[in-house]
């Protein structure tokens, strides 16, 4: 904006939101991490995120968001030590973070976990193969 205010929309979440929900909705993990890098380099008088308080400095919060992404990725990788199907991965993510399963959370967290799986397959951290007509994921 002309007054040197940056509206960040959904780019970053508050610590409280990340701590409460653990797995925030991400459509494309790689693109999200690139966005965090860009936001971290921005200079402005004020940053206004949709899900956190306005602040003159968001670098620490950007780092917290990035760290949470890597934490979730590491948790998923640890779940995938042996070949495992998506439903079991999702179950373990819910159990590991103490999340309550309902239809809304199944859709939101499930979509995000699929995004993580795709990203980690694309970056060579997970493999995926079909066994007995079931897609199984495994840490590389």
Q: Both tokens of residue 109?
A: 């967290």
Mean pLDDT of the chain: 96
Across 77-86, average pLDDT: 98
Q: Please list the residues that pair with 48 across neighbouring strands.
A: 7
Across 45-68, average pLDDT: 95
**Total Cβ atoms within 10 A of residue 73:** 19
How many Cα neighbours within 13 Å face the side chain of 139? 11
The answer to whether 110 touches 103, Cβ cutoff 8 Å, is no
Q: Which residues of 83-92 are buried (b: 16+ CB within 10 A; e: fewer)?
A: ebebeebbeb
Q: How far apart are CA 98 and CA 100, in angstroms?
A: 7
Query: What pLDDT score does 1 carry?
Result: 82
Pick from 14, 6, 19: nearest CA to 62: 14
Across 65-71, average pLDDT: 98
Query: What pLDDT score does 101 carry?
Result: 94
pLDDT for 31-52, tens place per residue? 999 999 999 999 999 999 998 9
Query: What pLDDT score does 51 carry?
Result: 85
What contacts 93, CB < 8 A, 6 or more positions away?
Answer: 23, 72, 75, 76, 79, 99, 109, 113
Query: What pLDDT score does 97 carry?
Result: 96
Across 128-140, average pLDDT: 98
pTM, entire model: 0.94
What contacts 53, CB < 8 A, 6 or more positions away?
Answer: 14
* pLDDT band with cut points at 50, 70 and 90 for residue 2: confident
* pLDDT band with cut points at 50, 70 and 90 for residue 121: very high
**Total Cβ atoms within 10 A of residue 80:** 23
């Amino acid at each position: 904006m002309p007054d040197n205010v940056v509206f960040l929309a959904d780019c970053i979440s508050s610590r409280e939101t990340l701590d409460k929900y653990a797995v925030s909705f991400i459509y494309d993990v790689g693109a999200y991490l690139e966005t965090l890098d860009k936001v971290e380099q921005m200079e402005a008088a004020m940053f206004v995120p949709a899900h956190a308080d306005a602040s003159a400095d968001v670098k620490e919060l950007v780092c917290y968001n990035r760290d949470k992404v890597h934490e979730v990725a590491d948790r998923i990788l640890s779940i995938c030590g042996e070949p495992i199907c998506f439903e079991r991965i999702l179950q373990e993510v819910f159990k590991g973070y103490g999340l309550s399963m309902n239809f809304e959370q199944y859709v939101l967290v499930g979509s995000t976990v699929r995004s993580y799986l795709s990203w980690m397959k694309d970056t060579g951290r997970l493999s995926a193969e079909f066994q007995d007509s079931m897609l199984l994921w495994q840490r590389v």
